[in-house]
Structure 1
Amino acid sequence: MAKATILLVEDEAPQRALLHQMLQDEGYEVVEAGSAEQALECLQQQRFDLVLSDWKLPGANGMELFRNLQSQCPEVAFVMVSAYGTIARAVDAVRAGADDYLAKPFTREAVLLSVERSLRARRLEDENRRLNQALSERDRLVDMIGRAPGMQRLYRQLEKVAGTEATVLLCGESGTGKELAARALHTLSARNAGPFVAVNCAAIPTGLAEAEFFGACKGAYSGSDRDRPGYFQMAQQGTLFLDEIAELAPDLQAKLLRAIQDKKIRRIGGNQEENVEVRLVAATHRNLEDEVAAGRFREDLFYRLNVLQLQLPPLRERKEDIPLLADHFLDLFAKRHGITKPRLPTEARRRLLDHPWPGNVRQLANAVERAVLLSEDGQVTPSDLPELPAASQAIHFKLDPQGIQWEAFEKEALSQALELAGGNRSRAARLLDLPYKAFLYRLEKHGISGQAR
């Protein structure tokens, strides 16, 4: 297990250097601050596992720093260091919630024991919190939003496969809730006390992808001043969710395949392999078999991922769930924005039911949030909803027995998608399930204009 990162707050340079060396020799990463003010700046810039602070500091004292820490970073452990004359104050800090205190003069063993004990206590608290959260979420899974037959079938499948260690591939259109399904798998599994790490493969810069996945050693590249864990290390003993798996570059696909097969990885700049113990869940809105046939996705990786494939139905195939989802989002966003939950009258409800929802549940959530913010007099009106063309206005196509002129058809499809999206190119590309760059290329080819993203 990687050693913790400690913020050392001490105004006396010799004492600070002594403590720094003690902790560093034990393998901890140490950041120094000479005052409470400097410490608070550090806490805003970096995540720490523990703060080791003297009580007597220039300006604000250690107790004031602890109170700030409690309000801003309550998950961070705190150990107070105190001279003989201020031990009573250090004890007060412990009574107020600090993890431990050290009396000067101290021994190396006392310092390391206090730090280790405090970190261990926090880890146990975090584990208990995750267990309680997992149990709470497990209780709610039975009542997940969606009564349509397709969703009920999905729930049964999730419960059945969650208890296995098999890799799962979640397939469905964008916005259907693939990450939610992955979280459900994690919550129902024996790994639910471990971390759930979600990764959007489409959002990782190509040059950083290997370091992001497998980690990097100190000095592996410019600006790398310490060892950095990758997604596999972060998900150790838990679940690693790889969304939009089809967007991975071919060279990274090969490295991912090896990590899955061997359950070992090697950090950039490292010469030793590390064992990884994670459950892998992948997701895509593309047809991976088509991607394999086109040479864009490795066939061997596809078979590794496609052990258990679950399909998430689009919202247009479960219209009966729209009122349930809308009511859930009304409640959620009203609480989030501190607004009284508005009513959803029949006319507004009908507008929601009539829409084809190409963006699925995510698009519905955005529409309801907008309505909550714009609503007046305690109810949502149709004008509070974004422009929602009815399903009858969606793009329909029937192939003529005599064939078609493809270029004309493509141009018409692009034009209709732009019209449905109100001229927004990014939304229109999603309607046609085209990558944004490919959509722009086709617009330029046909001389069609539209708004930017």
Structure 2
Amino acid sequence: MLEQKLKILVVEDEPDQRSLITKMLAANGYQTKGAESVEEAILSIKSELPDLVFSDWKLGQLTGMDLLNYVRREQPDMGFIIATAYGTITHAVDAMQAGADDYLAKPYQRQSLLLAIDKVAKSLVLKRQNRSLTSQLSQQQELVGLVGKAPCMQKVYTRVQRVSATDATVLIGGESGTGKELAARALYQLSDRKNKPFVAINCGAIPENLAEAELFGAEKGAFTGATTLKIGKLEAADGGTIFLDEIGELPLLLQTNLLRFLQEGVISRLGQNGEIKLDVRVIAATHRDLQHEVSEGRFREDLYYRLNVVPIHMPPLRERQEDIGRLVDHFLKLHAGQYNLPPLSLTGDTMKQLLDYSWPGNVRELANRIERFVLLGDEQEMVEELSCQPKTINTTQFTLPETGIEWESFEKNCLEQAMSKHQGNRTKAAKFLGLSYKAFLYRLEKYQLV
């Protein structure tokens, strides 16, 4: 027990009384040191921090209140119990108001002292646990870029905190670059599974003919080239968490298999006759509108509802403009530390352009630009790139024709024109259309323009 290992500093100016208290506490499993004055106690605290100070009120020229004020100023989490003379209740009140954890009125019994120490010891345990949890949350907020205070981000914080300790399936939505994978890692790091595997797989980045083996595994000889047993991503995540990024890209056949796993908690490797029971928490993410995909027949409705138990929406950066300054400061410090470079700052004019920019690539784009600035120190380059942002048309002045349009032909034509206008440069074409590079590539592939 933590309270049996406490280091206690006994501050008492009467040698016999000090010796009696220290021996009694040592006999009950505590580590003890003694001091006869406030000055000696402060020196002792500076050389080796105790967990708790037990001090008499009257200590020569100074008092226990002087020591309490020092402790609360320098070591606010340290336990403090003060002993006051019989009838001096005002001393006890003053001490409690100044931050003492407890007080004892003299003369006190041995049992009263031990009970007071036990109570304060339990309070110290709670303080340390709370500090640890706060530290973990703070670190996780740094990890996922939860630096802002915008109301839309506050909703994200609240939801992550509420569901992280559960095994509920979570579906994270939002545009590319908003931090969906990092939010998934926050859920994992704050969960009871944090010491178990975290396995991430991009469902849109694996060939369709290999997707089943990649996700569910394959027995030796299950297909041509399967010379050994292959453990799938779900099985590798047993006991931990799997993150299915871009779940909207998952082929329909695998959607059926994944639905069965979510319902029954079992999988079958490719070529396997039996079943394997797994304990895996599933977190999925997508930049697509899955409800639209369901209506178009590209995504199973029953799987959508299985995944969408707890939805979390990562807002685009343009909806949390008030956070851009905080994020800039965060990334300046982060990347300066990463590359062991001196900290840099941006001029007011550049910050204004950062605030006015639409950030189609969201937080990822901001982090990338700040990282490049930290490495090169070229603020002018950043300004020139931002000023090249295309001026978007006023959509309120654009009216659809009465006969309607064929959307996919229209979208394909826009892509072709953008590519032609920029001589096939995908980066410039994506910027011209106000799309993130990843979203632009997806559309090129969709219309077979690559």
| TM-score clears 0.5 | yes
**Paired residue for 2:292, among 286, 290, 293?**
290
Query: 2:441 — aligned with what?
Result: 436
Cα distance in 2, alignment partners of residues 313 and 333 from structure 1: 23
Look up the SS of the partner of 1:241 in the other structure.
Answer: strand
Q: Are positions 1:424 and 2:422 aligned together?
A: no
What is the RMSD of the two structures over their aligned residues, measured on CA atoms? 3.3
Cα distance in 2, alignment partners of residues 197 and 401 from structure 1: 47
Change (3 A) 1:391 1:424: closer
Query: 2:206 — aligned with what?
Result: 204
**Paired residue for 1:343, among 342, 345, 357?**
345
Cα distance in 2, alignment partners of residues 396 and 160 from structure 1: 40
Q: Are positions 1:306 and 2:308 aligned together?
A: yes
With the length of structure 2 as denominator, give the TM-score of the two structures: 0.61
Change (3 A) 1:194 1:420: farther
Q: How many residues get paired?
A: 309
Query: 1:397 — aligned with what?
Result: 395
Q: Are positions 1:382 and 2:380 aligned together?
A: yes
Aligned-pair CA distance for 1:344: 1.6
Q: Which amino acid in structure 2 is aligned with residue 140 of structure 1?
A: Q
Q: Are positions 1:239 and 2:238 aligned together?
A: no
Look up the SS of the partner of 1:310 in the other structure.
Answer: strand
Deviations 1:195-231 (A, max 9, x none): 1111111101111111111112233334434322111
Structure possessing the higher radius of gyration over alpha carbons: 2
Q: Are positions 1:188 and 2:190 aligned together?
A: yes
Deviations 1:54-106 (A, max 9, x none): xxxxxxxxxxxxxxxxxxxxxxxxxxxxxxxxxxxxxxxxxxxxxxxxxxxxx
| 283-292 or 412-421: bigger deviation | 412-421
Query: 1:57 — aligned with what?
Result: none
Q: Are positions 1:177 and 2:175 aligned together?
A: no
* Moved beyond 6 Å, runs of 4+: 419-423, 440-444
Aligned-pair CA distance for 1:369: 1.7
Q: Is the contact between residue 238 and residue 279 of structure 1 (CA under 8 Å) also seen in structure 2?
A: yes
Q: Is the contact between residue 166 and residue 279 of structure 1 (CA under 8 Å) also seen in structure 2?
A: yes
Q: Which amino acid in structure 2 is aligned with residue 273 of structure 1?
A: E
Query: 1:217 — aligned with what?
Result: 219
**Paired residue for 1:317, among 314, 319, 340?**
319
Cα distance in 2, alignment partners of residues 260 and 382 from structure 1: 52
Query: 2:278 — aligned with what?
Result: 276
Q: Is the contact between residue 141 and residue 186 of structure 2 (CA under 8 Å) also seen in structure 1?
A: no
Aligned-pair CA distance for 1:192: 1.5
Q: Is the contact between residue 202 and residue 247 of structure 1 (CA under 8 Å) also seen in structure 2?
A: yes
Cα distance in 2, alignment partners of residues 352 and 421 from structure 1: 24
Change (3 A) 1:415 1:394: farther
| 317-326 or 294-303: bigger deviation | 317-326
Change (3 A) 1:315 1:165: same
Aligned-pair CA distance for 1:185: 1.0
Change (3 A) 1:422 1:365: farther
Q: Gapped runs of 5+ residues in structure 1?
A: 1-132, 445-451
Change (3 A) 1:441 1:203: closer
Query: 1:166 — aligned with what?
Result: 168
Look up the SS of the partner of 1:281 in the other structure.
Answer: strand
Aligned-pair CA distance for 1:180: 1.1
Look up the SS of the partner of 1:398 in the other structure.
Answer: helix
Cα distance in 2, alignment partners of residues 283 and 329 from structure 1: 24
Query: 1:138 — aligned with what?
Result: 137
